[in-house]
């Protein structure tokens, strides 16, 4: 069972960054349309990437700690 939990965590590492960047882009694009701007989506992409990397580091440290 422990190996299945580790495998799930590895799959999570592969999916979290693209998902976070996509969500950041989507929210930025919505803000662009709402505020009639054309640059906010870039901030959303940056914040999404930062959130994704933060989660990746968090999970990797947890896996490393468990051995």
- Residue in the structure block whose two tokens are 């590492």: 13
- With a CB cutoff of 8 Å and minimum separation 6, the contacts of 40 are 28, 29, 31, 32
pLDDT one-digit tens code per residue, 20-52: 999 999 999 999 999 999 999 999 999 999 999
Position 67 confidence tier, pLDDT thresholds 50, 70, 90:
low
How many structural domains are present in the chain?
A: 1
- Does the pLDDT of residue 61 top 80, yes or no? yes
Are 27 and 40 a contacting pair, CB within 8 Å?
no
Q: Range of 36's domain?
A: 2-66
User: How does the average pLDDT of the chain come out, rounded?
Assistant: 91
């Amino acid at each position: 069972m422990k190996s299945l939990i580790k495998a799930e965590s590895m799959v999570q590492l592969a999916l979290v960054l693209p998902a976070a960047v996509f969500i950041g882009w989507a929210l930025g694009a919505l803000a662009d349309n709402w505020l009639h701007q054309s640059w906010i989506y870039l901030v959303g992409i940056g914040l999404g990437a930062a959130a994704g990397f933060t989660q990746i580091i968090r999970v990797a440290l947890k896996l490393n700690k468990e051995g």
